[in-house]
Structure 1
Amino acid sequence: MTENAARGGLLLGLGAYTMWGVLPLYFRLLATVPAIEVLAHRVIWSLVLLIAVVTAMRRWRTIRAAASGRTIAMLAASATLIAINWLIYIWAVNNGHTLAGSLGYFINPLLNVALGVIVLGERLRKWQGAALALATTGVAAMALVALDTLWISLSLAVSFGLYGLVRKVVAIDSLGGLLIETLLLAPASFGYVLYLGSVGSGAAGRALSTDVLLVALGALTALPLLMFAAAARRLPYSTLALLQYVAPSLQFVVAVAIFGEPLRPLHFLVFGLIWAGCAVFAWDSVRNARAARIAAAER
């Protein structure tokens, strides 16, 4: 891997996670639009952009060749999971629970480790186990006192963790998978938006500013996903493991510094344990990757 490719991958990865991190600011501009309607427009306008990208890249034949019955069935499951994740997150942001959402995405990388062990039969390294134990203690502390928002954090972590698991094993590339997922979600999304229009309760068409924000959701959904896919091809796993904490860290800052969500004493304990777990996990990932490179060089 060349230095330019690695630098380009790092910039793409940082760009993707930064966009995800500040996305709550954008959703707040659509606070008057119900979360499920925002989700429907997110799907519709993402599909428009993805069709344009696939057409420009001349990828239709490759995607059709990969779209077997089993692949479609698995992508139907992943599409359902990402729709649930998006819906809960949009609702959480616009109902004053961005902090709980941020906690969910801090938990997610550690949940991925647990899913790898339980479902894929991967072996847990010693320090990964320690990181998982710290995060589990933090979630348990949250459960004791803050049951009212714990469901948000856990549902976001579980839905995105299962989504990543399905996408890890499905036999299709990131662009093709995202296109098919969006196609599968599109009929219900189109139908819902048309229904809202027919009864006169939809947000679209009422104000130009809202229409522009809804249409731009397509780019804000597809662009960071495509940037992340490109970064993943250029960067080692250990670097990606570190970058994945950028988004929830920014969400945390947005929640506290901009939205003014209160930090309870419990939050310091919970986030302290989660951050400690994330730090141990990241350190172990970097250490293991470095050891693997040294071992490969010595062969």
Structure 2
Amino acid sequence: MTAEFRGIAALLAACIVWGMSPVYYRALSHVPPLEVLTHRALWSLALFAVWLGLKGRLREVGQLLAGSGRWLLMLAAFTIAINWFGYISAIQAGRTVEASLGFYIFPLIVVLLGVVFFQERLELAKIVSVALAAAAVVLLTWGLGTAPWIALFLGSTFAIYAAIKKRLGAGPVVSITVETLLLAPLALFWLWQTARTGTGHFGEDFATSAMLAFSGVITAVPLMLFSYASRQVSMAAFGLTQYLNPTLQFLCATVIFREPFTGWHLGAFALIWAAVAVYSLAGLRWPGRAGMT
């Protein structure tokens, strides 16, 4: 088994876990999103710390914290926290279709951020793909009478997070460890509050407690797999798999959850898929990798 094959297997596994995660968070609908978020952050922090400890890389956490990018790290922590909260809330509220749309348009928002903040050239293929995505948003807004705010929120916050990560230039596991470490005091305070008031769900029953703890696993393990794949897989392979995550989310929404999918949704997604095709066939560099690594 070649390193390339192992890398592709790791990348596919990460994308499948991310793409099927709506099923998991829907099963936790009886737990408020903020409580799910706090457990996700704390349990993933524990796993990241163990992983880095086994690799002898814990000192990198201190080095990153001691560096000049502390404010960027705090901003990254805040951005990923509100993105996670928005995602969990959308799934629990039965808005998985919109959530998947957000992750479809995320790379296209990154294109705009690249032009604004990194002075990247807006080539023809980028212009066409962004225009098609914008048309999809306008169409959905016109048809449903309201903008797809959840999709725009998730796509925008994750794109901002990707831009911050590009500025940091740190590896994904080390940087997310620091980000969850920065979130840990707030998470612990919130869990203490829920325990004090008797509103917390951890310890209520075994299944709920186990699922809350395991949310750290489905957060940490895919990122570790992604980190491994980023060192083994060509950019072409990344390009072929970048939309597996939102496609699986979309299938969860329409096939498993049976969420409403109107003709307006179909038209908007057709435009998005056309934008994806233009973007991918042009052989453009996937911004998600730059953001995550």
Secondary structure class of the residue paired with 1:85: helix
Contact 1:71/1:171 (CA < 8 Å) preserved in 2? no
1:35-64 per-position Cα deviation (integer Å, ceiling 9, x unaligned): 011001101111111111111111022332
Q: Kindly name which structure, 1 or 2, has the bigger radius of gyration based on alpha carbons.
A: 1
1:51 aligns with 2:49: yes
Q: Which runs of 5+ in 1 are unaligned?
A: 290-299
Contact 1:16/1:225 (CA < 8 Å) preserved in 2? yes
By how many angstroms is 1:175 displaced? 1.6
1:96-118 per-position Cα deviation (integer Å, ceiling 9, x unaligned): 10000000000001111111111
The whole-number CA distance in structure 2 between the counterparts of 1:34 and 1:149 is 25
Contact 2:49/2:58 (CA < 8 Å) preserved in 1? no
The whole-number CA distance in structure 2 between the counterparts of 1:268 and 1:160 is 24
Contact 2:41/2:216 (CA < 8 Å) preserved in 1? yes
What percent of counterpart residues are identical? Answer: 35
Corresponding residue of 2:208 = 210
Aligned CA distance change for structure 1 residues 196 and 148 (closer, same or farther; 3 Å): farther
Work out the number of aligned pairs and report it: 286
The whole-number CA distance in structure 1 between the counterparts of 2:244 and 2:45 is 27
1:254-282 per-position Cα deviation (integer Å, ceiling 9, x unaligned): 10011010111101110000000001111
Corresponding residue of 1:251 = 249
The AA in structure 1 aligned to 2:44 is S
By how many angstroms is 1:149 displaced? 6.1
1:134-155 per-position Cα deviation (integer Å, ceiling 9, x unaligned): 1111111122233556110000
The whole-number CA distance in structure 1 between the counterparts of 2:36 and 2:88 is 8
**Aligned pair partner of 1:17 in 15, 18, 22:** 15
Corresponding residue of 1:79 = 77
Aligned CA distance change for structure 1 residues 142 and 253 (closer, same or farther; 3 Å): same
Corresponding residue of 2:289 = none
The whole-number CA distance in structure 1 between the counterparts of 2:49 and 2:207 is 25
If the length of structure 2 is used for normalisation, what is the TM-score? 0.94
Contact 1:97/1:149 (CA < 8 Å) preserved in 2? no
The whole-number CA distance in structure 1 between the counterparts of 2:34 and 2:178 is 20
**Aligned pair partner of 2:68 in 70, 73, 77:** 70
Contact 1:66/1:171 (CA < 8 Å) preserved in 2? no
1:241 aligns with 2:239: yes
The whole-number CA distance in structure 2 between the counterparts of 1:95 and 1:147 is 19
Contact 2:109/2:156 (CA < 8 Å) preserved in 1? yes
The whole-number CA distance in structure 2 between the counterparts of 1:8 and 1:277 is 30
Corresponding residue of 1:292 = none
Considering only aligned residues, what root-mean-square deviation do their CA atoms show, in Å?
Answer: 1.6
Aligned CA distance change for structure 1 residues 34 and 150 (closer, same or farther; 3 Å): same
Corresponding residue of 2:189 = 191
Q: Which runs of 5+ in 2 are unaligned?
A: 287-293
Aligned CA distance change for structure 1 residues 78 and 146 (closer, same or farther; 3 Å): farther
